[in-house]
Chain A
Amino acid sequence: DTGVSQDPRHKITKRGQNVTFRCDPISEHNRLYWYRQTLGQGPEFLTYFQNEAQLEKSRLLSDRFSAERPKGSFSTLEIQRTEQGDSAMYLCASSDTSAMNTEAFFGQGTRLTVV
C-alpha cells in the first residue's frame, strides 16, 4: 500500500491527557499537511511541512498543538492537555510540489474523542 497512512484510526482519551498521532506520507512526497475536520465542516488547515521544515501554522492553532517531521518523512501531531473541543477527525495529506498543479492525497484520518 503506497497511500498515506495514519495511526491510530481511533483514539478515545480523557480530558487533560496528551495524545500523539502519526502520519506516514506517500514515499518521496515533500509536502505534508495536517487538517482537522468536525461534523458538518470541511477540513480545516492546521499546519504543513516542506520536507522537515514547518512552513506554516494556522493562527487558530492552540499552543497545545505541536507537530514535527524530523527527517522529512513521517510526521507526528501532539495535542497536550486535551479538551472536549479537540474531538474531531485529524487528517494528514501529502503532495509532491516538484510539479505544478498536483493534488494532495489524504489518509484515512484519526478520529479523536475526548471524554
Chain B
Amino acid sequence: DQQVKQNSPSLSVQEGRISILNCDYTNSMFDYFLWYKKYPAEGPTFLISISSIKDKNEDGRFTVFLNKSAKHLSLHIVPSQPGDSAVYFCAASAQGGSEKLVFGKGTKLTVNP
C-alpha cells in the first residue's frame, strides 16, 4: 500500500515560472513531512520540511504547504531555475520525524531555459 503518493511522474515548466509539486498521504499518524531533491547517481538532498502543527513553511524560493484535512502537501518553487531540474521526493514520518521516512515515487521536474 502506497502511504505517500506523488501522482505526477513528471513536470515541465519554463524558467522564471512557478513549479508546484504535489503529494498526498494516507496515514494519519504522519506528523512530519519533508521534500528531498535528487540528481542521478547521487543520494537525496534535504530541501525543506514542515511539521503538522504548521500549514506553511518558507525557505527562500521554496515553500511547502500542508493541508492536514485533505492529507495533502505541495512544494512551490518560485522562480524556477534550470538548476532546479531534478527528481523531487516527498517523504513523511510519524512521531515528529523520529520514525522511519516513507517516500513517494518522486516527480521529475524539468525547468526549461
Identify the A interface with B (CB < 8 A): 4, 6, 31, 33, 35, 40-45, 48, 56, 91, 93, 95, 97, 100-109, 111
Contact = CB atoms under 8 A, between A and B. Distances in A.
Interface in B41-56: 41-46, 49, 51
Contacts of A4: 43
Contacts of A6: 43
Interface stretch (B12-20, B66-74, B103-111): B103-111
B62 to A, nearest CB: 14
19 contacts: A33-B101, A35-B103, A41-B105, A41-B106, A42-B91, A42-B103, A42-B106, A48-B100, A93-B43, A93-B101, A95-B97, A97-B97, A100-B97, A101-B49, A101-B51, A102-B97, A105-B46, A106-B43, A106-B44
A91 B43 contact: yes
B34 interface: yes
B33 to A, nearest CB: 10
B89 A97 contact: no
B102 A109 contact: no
Contacts of B97: 95, 97, 100-103
Interface string B75-111: 0000000000000010100001110111111100000
Q: Which of A42, A56, A95 has the most CB of B within 10 A?
A: A42
A91 B101 contact: no
A44 B43 contact: no
B43 A103 contact: no
Nearest to B48: A103
B32 interface: yes
Interface string B18-47: 000000000000001010100001111110
B101 A45 contact: yes
Contact of A106 (B45, B49, B105): B45
Contacts of B104: 42
A89 to B, nearest CB: 8
